[in-house]
Chain A
């Protein structure tokens, strides 16, 4: 009898503890008095460093930065869950409309410029590609390097995992949202792509410019908008700034309404010389003077 009771108590205890643990795992939004920011994982490292540096610079405001992806950050901003969203893409018109419906006017600030480098194995003689060729390689219509002026060698395409911000950018800019070939290998980071391209004579991959500069055994190819236009390297600062390099993009933060108080302080810091130096230190390009002035004028 006593044993039965013990077992019953045990079962009940297990169920209760499981329920509590499950609810702790799944639920719980925690509101802080600090600035809450979420969004792009591409920007996560940059924004975390920025936040640390910002905390050191003054005592009043702390910024709690989390990832989740640009879409998640923007959705949280629309729902009023966070104060600032970081995004590696611009808000879509549907998202802007949804924000307005909730009485939130999202204000966009460019904070950094990013260039995506296309890398191939160092032994590969192909040194220039067009956007069309790049699309062909990643959708599976071009499968051999001799189709793009190289040696007779099968192409292995390396990409980022499906939910990466860089993947999203590549998906939109290069693929025009058409499906990738299922043969494109999903790599979990820039360095994984660099390593595999280095070890695969037929490999090609796309990685952030910061990583491409450090990688050995790979070479960065020139990229042209089409066969008629000039091709550029992502290390060519001028081409990245002018947008002549086809895979350059702005990275953004969005605030709910024109920033004031703590949020204003934070955005000001991102746009300050110290903030822009962190941008450069984390492997991105600083904003050019014109953009910077335009952003400061929005404050």
Chain B
């Protein structure tokens, strides 16, 4: 559940500080520890926003968000349009989601309802283990092996295309999705299943008409959180395809994501310059996207956890 707690932590802890029977030193220490983590969030947000002010002021928010060319280091006509980067992030995450959602949900249903408990006892930890592999390892796999397969299957000259990144991101998304969605299905009360069976429904009918609707909010939250993983991923996308800031939704083209742009260009951009500031602006937009998705997922999760209590 660690993926869910990020923004929820602040409000939840604020509510808990008044908890009765938890006074004295432990209370204070835990309170301070929590303050520190909240501080980190506020600091990061403040840092990003302060850094981006110059870019938004000089270039203008409309030009930054709506501009179709990202070429900040051009000598003759530097351009700071974020649209190609947003399109890149969208394309790669979309491809990843399209691949990951059917596979992830199939896995989840199998593990939750069909697999023998002994099989599940082996498979679920194995899938969850995939979530622990560092993204650079996935990136390396995409850079060296997967691209060759993609090129061969689709008859491309080079496999360093957005689809290559989509596939590797899907592999990274699946364990998160399966783990969270399986928890959601497992949380459906037994009474519901038993009632369904008692009415003569088959296993499949129970799954389709009772369990899936009952756990839908948890499943949707699992999907959103795993997509967030794809949106925020940097290292793997950096390695999986050609970093070309083209405004395209062609899965067989190179693209450049927002995360990769920051990683590529921040290292040597002149500190205090417009380019530097515009990278902070990219960070702000990314931060907002993540925040919105996280909040939506949190809301959905909350509704679902209240449904049976």
Q: Does B242 contact A (CB under 8 A)?
A: yes
Asked if B267 lies at the interface with its beta carbon under 8 angstroms from chain A, I say yes
Residues of A contacting B264 in the complex (Cβ-Cβ under 8 angstroms) = 161-162, 186, 188
1/0 per residue, CB under 8 A from A, across B43-67: the answer is 1001100110000000000000000
Chain B 133-168 per-residue mask, 1 if CB under 8 angstroms from chain A, else 0? 000000000011001100000000111100000000
Rounded to whole angstroms, the CA-CA distance of A210 and B14 in the bound complex is 57
Decide if A292 is an interface residue (CB 8 Å cutoff).
no
Pair A200/B160 contact, Cβ less than 8 Å: yes
Q: Is A294 an interface residue (CB 8 A)?
A: no
CA distance A84 to B103 in the complex (A): 57
Instruction: Encode contact with B along A140-184: 1 for CB under 8 Å, 0 otherwise.
Output: 000000000000011010100111110100010000011100111
In chain A, what residue has the closest Cβ to B84?
A182
| Alpha-carbon separation in the docked complex, A139 to B144 (Å) | 28
Interface centre among B40, B159, B244, B269 (most CB of A within 10 A): B244
Per the CB 8 Å criterion, the residue count for chain A at the interface is: 50
Query: Is B202 an interface position by the 8 A CB rule?
Result: no
Q: Which of B234-261 contact A (CB under 8 A)?
A: 238-239, 242-246, 254, 256
Contact at A18–B157, with CB atoms within 8 Å?
Answer: no
The residues of A that contact B270 with a CB separation of less than 8 Å are 68-69, 71-72, 75, 163
Contact between chains at A199 and B159 (CB < 8 Å): yes
Q: A17-B36, A161-B267 are in contact. Are A7 and B17 (CB under 8 A)?
A: yes
Q: Which residues of B contact A177 (CB under 8 A)?
A: 75-76
Point out the residues of chain B lying under 8 angstroms from A69, CB to CB. Answer: 268-270
On whether A188 and B159 interact (CB within 8 A), knowing A18-B46, A72-B270, the answer reads no
Complex CA gap A143/B164 in Å reads 23
Asked if B5 lies at the interface with its beta carbon under 8 angstroms from chain A, I say no
Chain B residues closer than 8 Å to A7, beta-carbon distance: 14, 17
Q: State in angstroms the CA–CA spacing of A264 and B18 once bound together.
A: 65
Interface residues of A in 1-57 (CB under 8 A from B): 3, 6-7, 10, 13-15, 17-19, 21-22, 25-26, 41
**B72 within 8 Å of A (CB atoms):** yes
In the complex the two chains form, is B39's CB within 8 Å of A164's CB? no
CB contact between B158 and one of A68, A71, A165, A202 (< 8 Å): that residue: A202
Q: Judge whether A183 and B17 touch: CB under 8 Å.
A: no
A41 near B268 with CB under 8 A, answer: yes
Q: A6, A71, A179, A185: which contacts B243 (Cβ < 8 A)?
A: A185
A187 adjacent to chain B (CB < 8 Å):
yes
B18, B42, B256, B275: the one contacting A18 at CB < 8 Å is B42
Q: How far is the CA of A3 from the CA of B18 in the complex (A)?
A: 6
B198 at the interface (CB under 8 A from A): no
Contact indicator A185/B39 (Cβ below 8 Å) = no
B238 to chain A, nearest CB (A): 7
Minimum CB distance partner of B40 in chain A = A21
Is A275 among interface residues, defined by CB-CB distance under 8 A? Answer: no
Per the bound structure, the CA–CA distance linking A177 and B271 in Å amounts to: 22
> Is B209 close to A, CB under 8 A?
no
The count of residues in chain B whose C-beta lies closer than 8 Å to any C-beta of chain A is: 50
B residues near A201, Cβ cutoff 8 Å: 157-158
Closest chain B CB from A3 CB (angstroms): 4
- Contact of A3 with B17 in the complex, beta carbons under 8 Å: yes
A182 with B243: CB separation less than 8 A: no
Are A183 and B43 within 8 A (Cβ)? no
Which residues in chain B, 63-114, are within 8 Å of chain A measured between CB atoms? 69, 71-77, 84
A residues within 8 A CB of B35? 10, 13-14, 17
A250 at the interface (CB under 8 A from B): no
Q: Do the beta carbons of B265 and A161 come within 8 Å of each other?
A: yes
Inter-chain contact A163/B269, CB cutoff 8 Å: yes
Q: Is the CB of B158 within 8 A of A203?
A: yes
Are B265 and A18 within 8 A (Cβ)? no
CB nearest neighbor in B for A67: B268
Beyond A163-B269, A188-B238, whether A199 also contacts B50 by CB under 8 A is: no
> Which A64-100 residues have a C-beta within 8 angstroms of B?
67-69, 71-72, 75
B147 touches A199 (CB 8 A): yes
Distance in Å: Cβ of A183 to nearest Cβ of chain B: 5
CA distance A283 to B179 in the complex (A): 48
User: Shortest beta-carbon distance, B21 to chain A, in Å?
Assistant: 14
User: A195: CB under 8 A from chain B?
Assistant: yes
A7 to B14, CA, bound (A): 7
Residue pairs across A and B with Cβ atoms less than 8 A apart, 16 shown, are: A6-B31, A7-B17, A14-B38, A17-B36, A21-B40, A25-B47, A26-B50, A68-B270, A75-B270, A162-B264, A179-B74, A184-B244, A187-B243, A188-B263, A199-B147, A202-B157
User: Which residues from chain A sit less than 8 Å from chain B, CB to CB?
Assistant: 3, 6-7, 10, 13-15, 17-19, 21-22, 25-26, 41, 67-69, 71-72, 75, 153-154, 156, 158, 161-165, 167, 171, 177-179, 182-188, 192, 195-196, 199-203
Chain B residues proximal to chain A, CB less than 8 Å: 14, 17-18, 31, 35-36, 38-40, 42-43, 46-47, 50-51, 69, 71-77, 84, 143-144, 147-148, 157-160, 238-239, 242-246, 254, 256, 263-265, 267-271, 275
- Which 8 pairs show the lowest CB-CB distances between chains A and B? A163-B268, A185-B242, A162-B73, A177-B75, A200-B158, A17-B39, A186-B243, A18-B42
